[in-house]
Chains A and B, each alone.
Chain A
């Protein structure tokens, strides 16, 4: 069980800056995120795309922004609980008891939901039949590649995940790579390697095709694929792997009794508290009149939510506003030498 002042759900830029704002006013935060790295959408969706509207930073990539935010919160030694998803919130007295999918328990008076539009999950095959084979012959990620040794595998997708795994698995298995169009969007080196493996007869490439049906009872025996002109091909296969990127699902957040407006959580703009005391929502997941889905708005929202958290974390203290330029207390928290 971990006791803290604030549990933050999500590790995107908004969450990271909230850690900083909390740290400055002396509050400790723990951060939980479903992804395997910090940065949220910045890291997952557009790490290389430049962003032009961060104040005082004319241009930076999602990756650089994340790196800089991590640097900025270094003094606070924050714990990140990655690859974990918050499943349950229960109010116990004046505090919240938070449980993750790995059964980790946090006790905190405050929760800040900075969850983007929910947690990232792999996009799945559009066929209903694919569901019943999931985890046995249909996969969206690979934990142990030995599982696929000496088997027939169909890999779907046109990005680097599909290409990487086609290259890797073709060493010990028969791989068919299927993609909806002729072009692949992976890095040139991967595309060259795959094309070479095709020439050498190590990989079969089927483009432009998409999945059409799955045959088999307990496990997959064969699939059919279809092109734009409805031409159908049958492929015998043991496994199918889909690499269609990630999609955001609201997930358990929808079950916590929070008011919801479609996929967003309405908040007040004074401290970004939701309809539940001690639960705040900031960044893309929050909504209010005039809401702008910008990173800079998320920063502002985090700063105000942090002050909101102070009340419940330090009920007997009075919050005093201070500037980072002059406050000795803040300098101490940042580990800066007094001058």
Chain B
């Protein structure tokens, strides 16, 4: 279980507890947090669950694989802290994670 803070582009914050082994994307969808669309349902095929991971957290996450980096080319305004939230698996180590959503997903 990890407490995750999702921050919308309007700065609206949502702090929710997400069970282990769920993705950060699913944590947002199941809690009705807007800003993450996840059109493809988590198959790393659409780049609409794009988030900016908080700088302090970015290097603590497992590295993205090539497929995710490729997909991020399609994301809306990606930067060096961009990740696809469907690829971030929740574990106790992610307790306190902060992610920000872009102003739109597509």
Contacts and interface: CB of A to CB of B under 8 A. Distances in A.
Nearest to A183: B69
A293 B41 contact: yes
A126 B74 contact: no
Contacts of A45: 40, 43, 45-46
B79 interface: yes
Contacts of B37: 263
Nearest to A244: B74
Interface string B63-101: 000000110011011111000000000000000000000
A248 interface: yes
B77 A245 contact: no
A221 interface: no
Nearest to A62: B45
Interface size class of B (residues with CB under 8 A): 20 to 34
B73 A244 contact: yes
B106 A180 contact: no
Interface in A136-195: 157-159, 179-181, 183, 185
B73 A180 contact: yes
B73 A210 contact: no
Interface string A283-309: 010000000010000000000000000
Interface of A: 41, 45-46, 49, 117, 123, 126, 157-159, 179-181, 183, 185, 210, 228, 244-245, 247-249, 263, 284, 293
Given A117-B40, A248-B46, 15 more contacts: A45-B43, A45-B46, A46-B43, A157-B73, A158-B70, A158-B73, A183-B69, A185-B69, A210-B77, A228-B79, A245-B73, A245-B74, A247-B106, A263-B39, A284-B41
